[in-house]
Structure 1
């Protein structure tokens, strides 16, 4: 079992594509490296997600690489969705910790994103959770669990903020210069 929990492949790909066009296998490697290998995503899931993003109008073709791999780029709607995700602190119930860590990891890796602002927004969100009043019975136990998680999240965010502020140039980076050789060929080339 992965300690990283789920990662929104859709949102993560859109966020990574804010840097410019990329091909599927490249995005697979970028997602893995930008989340510090906390979660392995099947490359087929990357291509399936890209296909859905194209159908939904968030991503479009950007031509092909020199060796005929299809490139993808954001549309205006895709860019808006990526920005909204990067600056949101909303998560599905039970996914709050994984979403926090994965979103901060990805945001800190993107050159055009203010990762400290992402951390600050999360600190406000988790501070509100610490202030919840315990109840009785199972609700009290659940509130205590939420309080403990919020305290842990705040402690990690303080450390993350200090690391980002101390050496901001060691986090944000462009696409990897190492080019994965595999990838999906255009349909015409496969025939």
Structure 2
């Protein structure tokens, strides 16, 4: 299937899921993983209606949190703070931007992921352009129901280092962090 058909299928799958329960399941596995690694400066995202909501991390895991903001064809990084409506129905920060090199983890939503860590987004390329420039660990967040064996890949697609699902956090298949074939699945 091409990416347009996969986006349609992924959106249909999302409509059948209990996003609140899945968000809590992902958080339960994510918290010990974060504590073990000690991440301190984390780029989160403000969830769209079909995405998992990880904002409870703000109260459950002590760190400095940031949110992305669409700026032209890219993303800028802003300390978590007051929000205002932005493009695509997103709530975006109103705080001044900071250098993305402060980050030590980028948490990325998606319509779907595959076990290699490739992401199916909305097709605008914001995260791919951003991740190409910011060299820090990346964590894709997705329900198991939206984890495909393999997604089509374009040369500009950026691969996640880890994936978090309601079953836990795993290195992506073939990653240098012990993913190998199977990646913990």
Q: Same fold (TM over 0.5)?
A: no
Normalised to the residue count of structure 2, the TM-score between the two structures is 0.29
Query: Per residue, is there more strand in 1 or in 2?
Result: 2
The structure showing larger relative contact order (alpha-carbon pairs under 8 Å, at least 6 residues apart) is 1
Query: Per residue, is there more helix in 1 or in 2?
Result: 1
Larger radius of gyration: 1
